[in-house]
Structure 1
Amino acid sequence: MRVSTAQFYLQSVQQMSSKAADINEQMAHLSSGKRVLTAKDDAVAYGTLAGYKNDLANIEKYKRNINQAESHNSLQEVSFAGAEDILNDIQQRLLQANNGAMSDEDLQTLAKQVRHSFNQLFDVANSQNENGNYIFSGYKTDVQPFSQQVDGSVSYGGDSGVRELQIAKNIKIPTNQTGDAAFMNVANAIGDFSVNYPTAPAANTSGVAVESANITDRNAYNLGAGPYTFATDPITNDLTVTDSTATVVFPVLPALPAPYVAGQTISFDGIDVTLSGNPLPGESFVISEQEDISIFATINNAIAWMEQGSVATNQEQHQVDYNTILEQLNSSMTHITSRRVDSGIRLQVLDSQKDRHLDLELSLAAGQANIEDLDFAKAISEFEQAKIALQVSQQTFSKVQGLTLFNYI
Structure 2
Amino acid sequence: MRISTLSIYNNATSQLNTLQSALARTQNQLSTNRRILTPADDPVASARALEVSQSREMNAQFATNRTSARSTLGTVENALQNAGNLLQDIQQLTVNAGSGSMLPQDREALAIELEGRLEDLLGVANTTDGAGGFLFSGYMSTTQPFTRTPDGAAYQGDQGQRQLQVGASRKIPLSASGTAVFENNRTGNGTFQTQAAPGNTGAAIISSGSVTDRALANAGRDYKLSFTVSGTPAVTTYSVVDTTTAGTEVPVPGQTAIAYEPGKTISFGGLSFDIKGVPADGDVFTAKPSEKQSVFATVTDLIAALRAPADGSSGKAALTNSLNTALDNLKSAHDNVLTVQASVGAHMKELDYLDSAGDDLDIQYAATLGDLQDLDMVKAISEFSIQQTTLQAAQMSFKTMSGLSLFNYL
Range into which the TM-score falls when normalised by the shorter chain = 0.7 to 0.9
Spell out the pairing of 1:53-64 with structure 2 (5 A cutoff): 53-64=53-64
* Aligned residues between the structures: 398
SS in 1 for 2:268: strand
- 1:189 paired with 2:224, answer no
Output the CA distance in 2 between the equivalents of 1:40 and 1:339.
Answer: 56
Pair 108,344 (structure 1): closer, same or farther in 2 beyond 3 Å: same
**Deviation per residue, 1:217-276 (Å, 9 max, x gap):** 489947xxx765332345473403142433233324xx6833166323222xxxx43332
Equivalent in the alignment of 1:205: 203
Task: Give 1:189 shift.
Answer: 3.1
For 2:134, the aligned partner's letter is Y
CA, structure 1 residues 23+240, in 2 after alignment: closer, same or farther (shift >3 Å)? same
* Shift in Å, 1:351: 0.5
SS in 1 for 2:197: coil
Tell me the equivalent position of 2:317. 316
Give the direction of change, closer, same or farther, for the CA distance of 1:4–1:214 in structure 2 (3 Å limit): farther
Matched-pair contact (CA < 8 Å) for 2:211–2:271: yes
Instruction: State the one-letter code of the partner of 1:171.
Output: R
Paired with 1:85 and 1:234, the residues of 2 have a C-alpha distance of 45
C-alpha distance in structure 2 between counterparts of 1:220 and 1:335, whole Å: 20
Aligned residue identity for 1:203: T
Partner letter of residue 176 of structure 2? Q
Contact 2:136 2:145 in 1 (8 A): yes
Greater Cα offset, 328-337 or 382-391? 382-391
Unaligned runs of 5+ in 1: none
Q: Counterparts of 1:185-334 in structure 2 under 5 Å?
A: 185-195=184-194, 197-200=196-199, 202-212=200-210, 216-217=214-215, 221=219, 228-235=223-230, 237-243=237-243, 244-252=245-253, 257-259=256-258, 262-267=264-269, 272-277=270-275, 280-287=280-287, 289-308=289-308, 311=311, 314-334=315-335
Matched ranges for 1:362-373 at <5 A: 362-373=363-374
- Aligned-pair distance for 1:293? 1.7
1:160 and 1:178 in contact (8 A); partners too = yes
The whole-number CA distance in structure 2 between the counterparts of 1:250 and 1:266 is 12
In structure 2, C-alpha distance between the alignment counterparts of 1:250 and 1:191, rounded to whole Å: 25
Asked if structure 2 preserves the Cα contact closer than 8 Å seen for 1:197 and 1:204, the reply is: no
Q: Are the aligned partners of 2:206 and 2:275 in contact in 1 as well (CA < 8 Å)? A: yes
Runs of 4+ in 1 over 6 A off after TM superposition: none
Q: Does structure 1 residue 351 correspond to structure 2 residue 329? A: no
- 1:7-406 matched pairs, under 5 angstroms: 7-43=7-43, 45-149=45-149, 151-195=150-194, 197-200=196-199, 202-212=200-210, 216-217=214-215, 221=219, 228-235=223-230, 237-243=237-243, 244-252=245-253, 257-259=256-258, 262-267=264-269, 272-277=270-275, 280-287=280-287, 289-308=289-308, 311=311, 314-406=315-407
Alpha-carbon distance change, 138 to 336 in structure 1, aligned in 2, over 3 angstroms: same
2:359 alignment partner AA: L
Question: Structure 2: any 5+ residue segments left out of the alignment?
Answer: 231-235
RMSD: 3.0
Alignment partners' CA distance in 2, 1:216 and 1:13: 97
Alpha-carbon distance change, 218 to 388 in structure 1, aligned in 2, over 3 angstroms: farther
AA aligned to 2:329 is Q
Larger deviation, residues 6-15 vs 22-31: 6-15
Partner of 1:407: 408
Partner amino acid for 1:95? V
- Whole-angstrom CA distance in 2 between matches of 1:238 and 1:108: 35
Q: Secondary structure at the match of 2:144?
A: coil
Rounded to whole Å, the distance in 2 between the matches of 1:256 and 1:185 is 33
**Aligned amino acid, residue 361 of structure 1:** D
In 2, the alpha carbon distance for the partners of 1:257 and 1:89 equals 43
Matched residue SS, 2:240: strand
Identical-residue share of aligned pairs (%): 27
Distance change in 2, residues 1:285/1:105 (3 Å): same
Which stretch has the larger CA shift, 292-301 or 242-251? 242-251
Amino acid at match of 1:391: Q
The whole-number CA distance in structure 2 between the counterparts of 1:148 and 1:300 is 11
Q: How much has 1:78 moved relative to structure 2?
A: 0.9
Q: 1:384 to 1:299 in 2, by over 3 A?
A: same
| CA distance in structure 2 between the partners assigned to 1:50 and 1:238 by the alignment | 81
The 1:220–1:386 alpha-carbon spacing in structure 2 relative to 1, beyond 3 Å, is closer
- DSSP-derived class of the 1:111 partner: helix
Give deviations 1:159-210, integer Å, cap 9, x for gaps: 111222333333332222111101111122323455553333x435322345
